[in-house]
A and B are shown apart, each in its own frame.
Chain A
Amino acid sequence: MKNIHILLVEDNEGDIILTQEALSDAKIKNKVSVSRDGEEAISYLNKALEDPEELLPDLILLDINLPKIDGKEVLHYIKTTPSFKKIPVVMLTTSSSELDVVDSYNNYANCFISKPVDLNKFFDVVRMIEDFWITIVKLPSKD
């Protein structure tokens, strides 16, 4: 089985570590690319088009509170750009604001998950995301 490529858009260094830690416990081998703000995420994706097979992620974990361009704008960009819109986007954020939830789904987020405060729960959530989106779901090909 081919390595799974996940793009993590997250500005919080602690969360990056915690997410990577959780993913490192994963059953499937994966590669994690990290963008630390919205702008960086968009430019990464566009650059990835040069070698989609190698660089385009299979799943995007997107935080909402991002410097420069926030997560909702990045979501909107992804879902309105034909080359990216088939990529599943999981909103993974500390926000539990109703407004954020609604906005996200309106912009075709594939799912919205509040980060649990408790570490073990957070690990469980990441494992379930991996399990669901990578093992269970049939994803489109990158072409």
Chain B
Amino acid sequence: MNHTQASTFLARANNCFYVSLDHNLSILSANEKFSNLFTPHAIEPGKPFLPLFALPLQQKWKNCFSNNTTPDRNPRAVTNAVEAGMRTLNIEWNIFDVINTENKNTGFEVLGVLLQEPAGEVTINKESELNNEKYYRSLFDYNPNSVFSLDNTGKLIKVNNAFTKLLEWTEDELHPSPLNVIFREDDIEIAKEYYHKALEGNSANYSGNLITKNGKNVDVTITFIPVKDNENTIGVNCRIENITESVVANKTLLKQEERLKSVLSKLKKVLNSSLDVICTIDRDGKFIKVSAASKKLLGYEPRELAGKHFMDFIYEEDLDRTFEANLKIQSGIATTNFENRYYRKDRSIADLVWSSRWDEGDQRYYAIARDASEKKASEAALKASEEKYKILFYNHPLPTWIYDVETFMFIEVNEAAIEHYGYSREEFLKMKLQDILVGQEVQRFENLHNQEGFHLNRHKDLWKHKKKNNEVLYAEITSNFIDYQGRKAKLVLSIDRTEHIIAEQELLKSNEKYYYLSEATFDAIWDWDIQSGDVQWNEGVKKMFEMPHLTTTTKVDWWLDNLHPDDRARVEVKLQEHIKTNNSNWEDEYRFKIDSNTYKYIFARGYIIFDAAKGPVRMIGAMQDLTERKRHENTLQKLNSSLEKRAKELAESNAELERFAYVASHDLQEPLRMVTSFLQLLEKRYKDKLDQKAHEYINYAVDGAERMKKLILDLLEYSRVNSSKIEKEDVDVNEIMNDLKITYKNILKETDGTINNSELPVVKGNKTQILQLFQNLVGNAFKYKSDEPPVINISYEEDNAAYKFAISDNGIGIDPKFFHKIFIIFQRLHNREKYSGTGIGLAICKKIIDKHGGKIWVSSTPGKGSTFYFTLPKSK
């Protein structure tokens, strides 16, 4: 294999160190493995290569690079230890010359393979060194032969002056160094062999090459001499004899060829130890060579694939893609990370990732295929997991979205958000978060976002959102800051709390109403939490109990303790009974102590609220102060009993009055009758014996008796009106007038008088009394007539409540100064001679009107006439 071709893919190889240098030993490129070796120093193009290594190694590297005069010297191998991090790695390096078309060296490619054994730690037996120092130093240094000493670990520890002259290394530079500093790579094993022989106590002569500090080969013979301390070998001294160069020229050439073979076999090892399938494919697409990984990756031995077309193994679906990719590669475009599927030998499918290029010079493809199954599997897992979260997001039953916290634009919305808010996904994704906020919330939202550290926090808050149909909802928002595809975003969960909030507001309002109501009312209102035993009292209670300093809340026991001792047991039992029987409506009356010796009568009414389990939860009620009412009741009772007493007295007085009336009607009349009767009997029987004067006297006596009789009868009538209960009935006043006209027929004739009346109403009243009323008034009009023929007019008016009658005459009239006297019993305005009368008639009229609930009054102009008015109420 041509080294240039090899280098192309070696640059990408993971299992060897690769670096490419220009002819000045500056780095052109390096693979990752090589770069890693020198971490933390960066490997960059243009960086000098040699300073990466320790000083002794630098010289060795220089030697290797400079020995390039003939192409067949390629490659040269050098093994050295590299301090990589905490470890020392033994690496075998191969240097290839890069030759241009004019066969001139333009640079180098260096390939390193890690050797299995790491370089052992250098240990030095300081004690033996000190001993030797003492006795042999001088002798050693000035030995004319070149001499060097190795310790019991095979490390160069001492060299003398002649050595320095021959190989240019000073002791200071070497102490201590491994043998490969001065031995050629290929000679190390032999040198070590000799050394070990010497350690075992056998001197030996070695012929071969040593390398000077400047990389020059020196043909020498070395005698290995054991150094003994007592019976133990503690080291080896070596004496160098210089041999002429010419003797060994041919021999060296031979060795170079062997080395080339060795390197190639190692390169093959590298290829075959790679986990990737490294292959070359000819222009027709047939495998030329395939690395051993094909067995593991595809189940085919490399030789089974050789000569087969690479397309033959491609999974059908990937054929077209692969063919296209192949065309690209063929046109000179190197391809990396091309993925396709390959049939294994067992027909299972392998996912492969290809890196490939077409080399026009070599007329073949160089390709590396790597197993992508694992990658695929993890990608599939990732995809599945993404899918899972997608499902979780999109199908979450609550509205959920993601918005960009810098632009506030919606990035993602789920189905629930679309359904609940009414915007389509397309609409959402064109909207800002502010677009779903209700007016005043926008400012709040922006303020919140301007707060420092806002994005770091998780938020839970209540917002007023509007739906597409402008319906407002109260959304409980839980949000979390996330990094969404490289954008600063918020993941938001919205829970519609509208019903809850509205219910809460209603409750608040109703509580507020209850509060104001309970504050405003004079009634005492209380609210007993039966579970806790706390009772809330309103202002009204303080007023009612006259306890301005009463705390708003007390225990229910406070109330019980203040009940009157005689009431407490009864009240408690009744209340417990209500609670026990789930009877919500409670009321009771009791006395409540407001100070040490004052109780108030309270009427309380309450409503007990039970929970679903029928347990009492709360009782709300109101109280009324019955103290005043009780007092009134007591007063009323006293009043009633006094009234009863009075009524009884009155009844007695009425009975007396009736007896009086009886006496008046009977017992008073009896003697009067005797007076009259015997005067008349006297007149009758002794007519002839009495003179004129006697007759005159008898007449006066009889007249007096008559008037007295009249007075008694009027008085009796008056007392009857006063005492009797009136039975009310419909009284047609027209009929009354007809009766009167009949009664007064003679007088009307005698006086040439008239009674005028319009159509009169039917009134409610006692017929006898109404008749008497009209009779008295009309009678008076005749009695107090002037010289003119009497004209009596009877009329009436009515309103909703009463009838108002007017009886006017053209009589003598009444002087207004006597108006107040005329309705008083026995008051007379005129002498008996001119106008007869007892002075009871108008008093009876007034009594009748009083009895009927009406009023009577008079207006008059003396000499012109009088008008008597009275009213009769319509109802009752």
- Say yes or no for B680: interface residue by CB 8 A criterion: yes
A14 close to B680 (CB less than 8 A): no
A117 close to B666 (CB less than 8 A): no
Interface residues of B in 666-692 (CB under 8 A from A): 666, 669-670, 672-674, 676-678, 680-681, 684-685
- Say yes or no for B515: interface residue by CB 8 A criterion: no
B681 close to A18 (CB less than 8 A): yes
- Say yes or no for A12: interface residue by CB 8 A criterion: yes
**Residues on A with beta carbons closer than 8 Å to the beta carbon of B680:** 118-120
B709 close to A119 (CB less than 8 A): no
Interface residues of B in 632-667 (CB under 8 A from A): 662, 665-666
Which of A33-41, A94-102, A129-137 forms part of the interface with chain B? A94-102
Separation in Å of the A112 CB from the closest CB of chain B? 15
B669 CB contact (under 8 Å) in A117, A119, A120:
A117
A94-B666, A96-B665 known; A117 vs B681 contact (CB < 8 Å)? no
A65 close to B666 (CB less than 8 A): yes
A12-B670, A94-B669 known; A119 vs B677 contact (CB < 8 Å)? yes
CA distance A13 to B656 in the complex (A): 28
Separation in Å of the A118 CB from the closest CB of chain B? 7
**Residues on B with beta carbons closer than 8 Å to the beta carbon of A65:** 666
B670 CB contact (under 8 Å) in A94, A119, A120, A122:
A94
- CB nearest neighbor in B for A122: B677
**A49-91 vs B, Cβ < 8 Å mask (1 yes, 0 no):** 0000000000000000100000000000000000000000000
A115 close to B665 (CB less than 8 A): no
A118 close to B676 (CB less than 8 A): yes
**B237-258 vs A, Cβ < 8 Å mask (1 yes, 0 no):** 0000000000000000000000
Separation in Å of the B117 CB from the closest CB of chain A? 161
Interface residues of A in 93-143 (CB under 8 A from B): 94-97, 115, 117-120, 122
**B52-94 vs A, Cβ < 8 Å mask (1 yes, 0 no):** 0000000000000000000000000000000000000000000
Separation in Å of the B61 CB from the closest CB of chain A? 168
A12-B670, A65-B666, A97-B662 known; A117 vs B676 contact (CB < 8 Å)? yes
A94 close to B673 (CB less than 8 A): yes
CA distance A117 to B706 in the complex (A): 9
**Residues on B with beta carbons closer than 8 Å to the beta carbon of A117:** 669, 672-673, 676-677, 709
**Residues on A with beta carbons closer than 8 Å to the beta carbon of B684:** 119-120
A96-B665, A117-B676, A117-B709 known; A21 vs B670 contact (CB < 8 Å)? no
A119 close to B676 (CB less than 8 A): yes
Separation in Å of the A4 CB from the closest CB of chain B? 23
Question: Taking each of A15, A117, A120, which has the highest tally of chain B beta carbons within 10 Å of its own beta carbon?
Answer: A117
Interface residues of A in 1-60 (CB under 8 A from B): 12, 14-15, 18, 21
**Residues on B with beta carbons closer than 8 Å to the beta carbon of A97:** 662, 665-666
Question: Taking each of A12, A96, A119, which has the highest tally of chain B beta carbons within 10 Å of its own beta carbon?
Answer: A119
CA distance A122 to B684 in the complex (A): 13
B669 close to A14 (CB less than 8 A): no
**Considering the complex of A and B, which 8 residue pairs feature the smallest CB-CB distances, nearest first?**
A119-B680, A14-B674, A119-B677, A117-B673, A94-B670, A18-B677, A119-B681, A95-B666
A-B contacts, 16 of them at CB < 8 A, read A12-B670, A14-B674, A15-B674, A18-B677, A21-B685, A94-B666, A95-B666, A97-B662, A115-B673, A117-B672, A117-B673, A117-B709, A118-B676, A119-B676, A119-B677, A119-B680
Binding site for B on A (CB under 8 A): 12, 14-15, 18, 21, 65, 94-97, 115, 117-120, 122
Q: A94-B666, A96-B665, A118-B676 are in contact. List 19 more A-B contacts (CB 8 A).
A: A12-B670, A14-B677, A14-B678, A18-B677, A18-B678, A21-B681, A21-B685, A94-B669, A94-B670, A94-B673, A95-B666, A97-B662, A117-B669, A118-B677, A118-B680, A119-B676, A119-B684, A120-B680, A122-B677
Binding site for A on B (CB under 8 A): 662, 665-666, 669-670, 672-674, 676-678, 680-681, 684-685, 709
